[in-house]
Amino acid sequence: SAVISQKPSRDICQRGTSLTIQCQVDSQVTMMFWYRQQPGQSLTLIATANQGSEATYESGFVIDKFPISRPNLTFSTLTVSNMSPEDSSIYLCSAPKHQFTNEAFFGQGTRLTVV
């Protein structure tokens, strides 16, 4: 079973700056997923990060705003670029526990506040 470590757990950032969130899985996984949870709302998938290829972004999310790296099968980063207060959210990464069961592990989340 995969365990996911995500950091930082929280940060307060100035508008116009960028923050990179790291996600480490303790076993190799083909796909990793990045979600955003705006205050009081549900989780929305940002993108799917595949090792060795560009991330696949969901509607409403673009690479320039949320660049993603996936250098190997156990690690991924999500950068929130040129931040504004509207980017204040919890960002979570997830990875499947098993390829054929769709059960996913989630990181602890990064609580981002942009001021």
Partner 1 sequence: AQKVTQAQTEISVVEKEDVTLDCVYETRDTTYYLFWYKQPPSGELVFLIRRNSFDEQNEISGRYSWNFQKSTSSFNFTITASQVVDSAVYFCALSEVANAGKSTFGDGTTLTVKP
Give the nearer residue to partner 1 in terms of CB position, either 37 or 69: 37
Place of tokens 């929280």: 10
CA-CA-CA-CA torsion for 44, 59, 76, 6, nearest 10 degrees? -20
Contact between 21 and 77 under an 8 Å Cβ cutoff? The reply is: yes
Work out whether 51 is an interface residue with partner 1 (CB under 8 A). no
Give the nearer residue to partner 1 in terms of CB position, either 47 or 83: 47
x/- letters, 6..25, toward partner 1 (CB under 8 A) = --------------------
Work out whether 83 is an interface residue with partner 1 (CB under 8 A). no
63, 91, 70, 66: which is closest to 81 by C-alpha?
66
Binding residues for partner 1, rule: CB under 8 A, are: 31-33, 41-45, 48, 90, 92, 94-106, 108-109, 111
